[in-house]
């Protein structure tokens, strides 16, 4: 991306640098007349069906999100509208890693795939596209209870522990979705990509926090139903943007279950229709279930549980001391005393922060070889060191410029000359020593004076552990980003001619005027694009709504009926299109 465009939207402008890296330009000019026709067809079908089964008033929701039925939305239009309800939108290149996706939600920014599905995937695409992201997610954003849930989910998801297997599965799904959306994709390549996804899913080991949270996200934000088991309504974006599954999901063969914490037990396959869906009675219930799950997560549990999760993840994580000091790095060891961490250690570049802001002089360049420190109370004091007043610290021999010897109840001893005492938020957080030795209860060296100055974190307990650095931008932490790029079609002269035919029909619908030229458009379709059905439907719609050229209309209708009969893959699409010609939606809804 070249210059960052915040669309004059405060939510987008507030995005940190590590999230901006995923943003791509929308390039609105790249959408073809066929793309706009695909959008219009899906949106009209959605309105026709979803006005009865969607949870919220569909058209008012679209309008509040800056969308219309007639054309693909621009990011500026969406940001102008979403800004009024405290949200924003950006375009990205296909799937982005789950942790980044969650964090965007926390910043109240919708992530929208810039591409749009191909005509041959008009009912459903496994790849994220602008129909799914904008027409699926955006209209319900106006519901305050729902958008509060969405942003709260993002803030919790941004702290979830994830594993290397999570990223490998993400890469496999991204690669498969890109392949499936490519025109004339090699069948063998798709088969191998599907096998890779299957293998990854079967070899995930114990699901990480991110994997389990992703299930809750899937069964609510993407595929959620609300209401009662007997009369559910759709609010999940995956259903709202699929003109196939939004209808099939309501059938009895798709099991409807009450939405509870048990939903985390149900994995999902992004490439297939869902065998069961979950129904929540209210959006408040979504928050209640999320709270229940969050209470089991490392960022709330801390302690040994959190430290072990951090070590297992092998990713950059942050441990938070009870003093508020945050230690970020790759954790490799923890000593345990009476069921609690007594000493923690990172390996490689590490950093110290407070309130998610890096402490001056304590970035990854300074702590390039790692960081280690005791945790706990020290002998002779039941009051935590971080809570001692200045006088109490002096009485304990902890004073700048003095030699000190701190003996922890765990048996760890820290001795050296105090160079500096750092306090913040009313707590002592960090003591820096020169000529310092740290030994454990058996006399093993944990820090040697020859290694330089020693920064000792202060805190009785590890109260929280979460994935990622506390100050991501200062840490220069770049979230894992896929190197697999989405496919962008290149059009030959024949397809470009087809685009011109679609554009002529589109222009006539928007500007009015003589209909006589449509006969020539139809002739060109028959001669060079006999497989097309959507442009034929659009011509028929104009002719029948204006009672023009009855012979031509009858010829096109017969062609479409014959195609639906001989090519079953088009039957529902054509039948649904003919239904909308006979039962048009109100004109005021499409502009």
Instruction: Give the annotated binding-site residues for Fe cation.
Output: 132, 137, 222
CA dist 106 → 15, 109, 157 (Å): 10, 8, 9
CA atoms 467, 473, 477, 480: torsion sign = positive
Q: Are 279 and 225 in contact (CB under 8 A)?
A: yes
Q: Are 475 and 358 in contact (CB under 8 A)?
A: yes
DSSP state of 260: S
DSSP state of 222: I
The enclosing H or E element of 420 equals strand 413-424
Q: Are 237 and 137 in contact (CB under 8 A)?
A: yes
DSSP state of 221: I
Q: 528: closest CA among 488, 489, 496?
A: 496
DSSP state of 378: B
How many CB atoms lie under 10 A from the CB of residue 219? 25
In three-state secondary structure terms, 107 is: coil
Q: What phi, psi does 547 have (nearest 5°)?
A: 50, 50
Tell me the CA end-to-end span of the chain in Å, nearest whole number: 31
Q: Are 204 and 173 in contact (CB under 8 A)?
A: no
- Side by side, the strands of the sheet bearing 255-258 are 232-234, 225-227, 276-280, 255-258
Q: Are 283 and 143 in contact (CB under 8 A)?
A: yes
CA distance 311 to 331: 5
Binding residues: 132, 137, 222
The enclosing H or E element of 307 equals helix 303-313
Q: Are 495 and 344 in contact (CB under 8 A)?
A: no
């Amino acid at each position: 991306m070249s210059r960052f465009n915040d669309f004059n939207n405060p939510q987008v402008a507030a995005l940190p640098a590590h999230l901006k890296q995923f943003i791509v330009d929308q390039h609105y000019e790249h959408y073809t007349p066929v793309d706009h026709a695909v959008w219009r067809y899906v949106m009209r079908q959605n309105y026709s069906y979803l006005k009865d089964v969607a949870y919220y008033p569909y058209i008012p929701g679209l309008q509040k999100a800056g969308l219309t039925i007639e054309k693909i939305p621009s990011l500026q239009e969406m940001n102008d509208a979403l800004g009024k309800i405290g949200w924003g939108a950006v375009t990205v290149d296909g799937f982005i890693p789950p942790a980044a996706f969650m964090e965007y939600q926390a910043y109240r920014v919708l992530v929208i795939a810039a591409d749009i599905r191909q005509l041959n995937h008009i009912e459903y695409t496994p790849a994220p596209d602008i129909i799914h992201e904008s027409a699926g997610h955006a209209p319900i954003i106006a519901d305050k209870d729902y958008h509060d849930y969405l942003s709260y989910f993002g803030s919790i998801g941004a702290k979830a522990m994830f594993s290397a297997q999570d990223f490998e599965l993400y890469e496999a799904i991204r690669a498969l979705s890109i392949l499936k959306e490519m025109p004339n994709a090699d069948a063998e390549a798709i088969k191998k990509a599907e096998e890779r996804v299957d293998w990854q899913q079967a070899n995930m080991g114990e699901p990480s926090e991110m994997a389990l949270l992703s299930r809750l996200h899937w069964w609510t934000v993407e595929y959620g139903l609300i209401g009662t088991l007997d009369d559910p309504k759709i609010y999940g974006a995956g259903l709202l943007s699929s003109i196939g599954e939004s209808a099939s999901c309501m059938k009895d063969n798709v099991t409807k279950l009450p939405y509870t914490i048990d939903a985390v037990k149900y994995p999902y396959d992004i490439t297939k229709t869902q065998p069961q869906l979950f129904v929540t009675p209210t959006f408040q219930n979504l928050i209640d279930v999320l709270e229940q799950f969050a209470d089991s997560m490392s960022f709330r549990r801390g302690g040994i549980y959190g430290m072990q999760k951090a070590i297992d993840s092998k990713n950059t994580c942050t441990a938070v001391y009870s003093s508020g000091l945050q230690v970020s790095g790759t954790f490799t060891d923890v000593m345990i005393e009476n069921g609690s961490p007594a000493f923690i250690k990172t390996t490689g570049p590490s950093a110290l922060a407070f309130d998610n802001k890096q402490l001056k002089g304590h970035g990854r360049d300074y702590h390039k070889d790692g960081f280690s420190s005791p945790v706990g109370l020290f002998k002779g004091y039941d009051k935590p060191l971080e809570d001692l007043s200045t006088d109490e610290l002096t009485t304990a021999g902890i004073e700048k410029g003095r030699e000190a010897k701190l003996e922890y109840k765990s048996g760890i001893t820290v001795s050296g000359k105090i160079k500096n005492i750092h306090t913040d938020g009313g707590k002592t957080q960090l003591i820096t020593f020169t000529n310092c030795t740290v030994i454990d209860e058996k006399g093993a060296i944990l820090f040697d004076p020859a290694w330089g100055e020693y920064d000792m974190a202060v805190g009785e307990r590890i109260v929280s552990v979460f994935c990622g650095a506390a100050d991501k931008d200062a840490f220069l932490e770049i979230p894992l980003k896929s190197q697999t790029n989405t496919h962008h079609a290149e059009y030959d002269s024949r397809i470009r001619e087809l685009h011109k035919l679609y554009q002529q029909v589109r222009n006539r619908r928007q500007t009015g005027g003589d209909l006589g030229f449509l006969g020539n458009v139809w002739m060109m379709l028959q001669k060079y694009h006999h497989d097309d059905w959507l442009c034929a439907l659009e011509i028929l719609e104009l002719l029948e709504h204006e009672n023009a050229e009855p012979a031509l209309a009858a010829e096109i209708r017969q062609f479409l009926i014959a195609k639906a009969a001989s090519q079953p893959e088009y039957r529902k699409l054509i039948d649904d299109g003919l239904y909308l010609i006979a039962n048009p939606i109100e004109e005021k809804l499409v502009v």
